[in-house]
């Protein structure tokens, strides 16, 4: 329900007094405009959520790669240490 303000300029009533009138009919053009705006907002929000999900996935993959790299360095140091022990 949409309310519209109507100036009460009848008879002896002061012009500054206002009455609220309920409007039950809205032109289809305005309804379609509201629907289009809502759709744009929802699409923008969905795009924002997609970007956030991509960033989360990228951060997770980056952490996994860093862990794998640390494990590889650890394994290389261990291999060097074991080889040096064998040569003694």
- In terms of C-beta density within 10 A (0-12 exposed, 13-18 middle, 19 or more buried), how is residue 2 classed? exposed
pLDDT at 14 over 50: yes
Q: For the chain, which residues make up each domain, given as ranges?
A: 2-87
Residue 15: the pLDDT is 55
pLDDT band, residue 6 (cuts 50/70/90): very low
Residue 17: the pLDDT is 62
**Is pTM beyond 0.85 here?**
no
Measuring CA to CA, how many Å separate 29 from each of 25, 34, 74? 12, 9, 67
Measuring CA to CA, how many Å separate 32 from each of 27, 37, 40, 41, 52? 9, 9, 12, 14, 30
Residue 41: the pLDDT is 98
Helix (H) or strand (E) holding 33: helix 28-87
Instruction: Work out the average pLDDT over 12-17.
Output: 57
| Residue 37 or 19, more confident | 37
């Amino acid at each position: 329900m949409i309310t519209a303000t109507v100036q009460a300029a009848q008879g002896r009533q002061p012009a500054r007094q206002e009455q609220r009138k309920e409007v039950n009919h809205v032109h289809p053009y305005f309804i379609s405009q509201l629907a289009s705006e809502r759709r744009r907002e929802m699409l923008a929000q969905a795009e924002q959520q997609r970007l956030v999900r991509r960033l989360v996935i990228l951060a997770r993959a980056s952490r996994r790669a860093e862990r794998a790299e640390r494990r590889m360095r650890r394994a290389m140091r261990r291999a060097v240490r074991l080889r040096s022990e064998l040569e003694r």
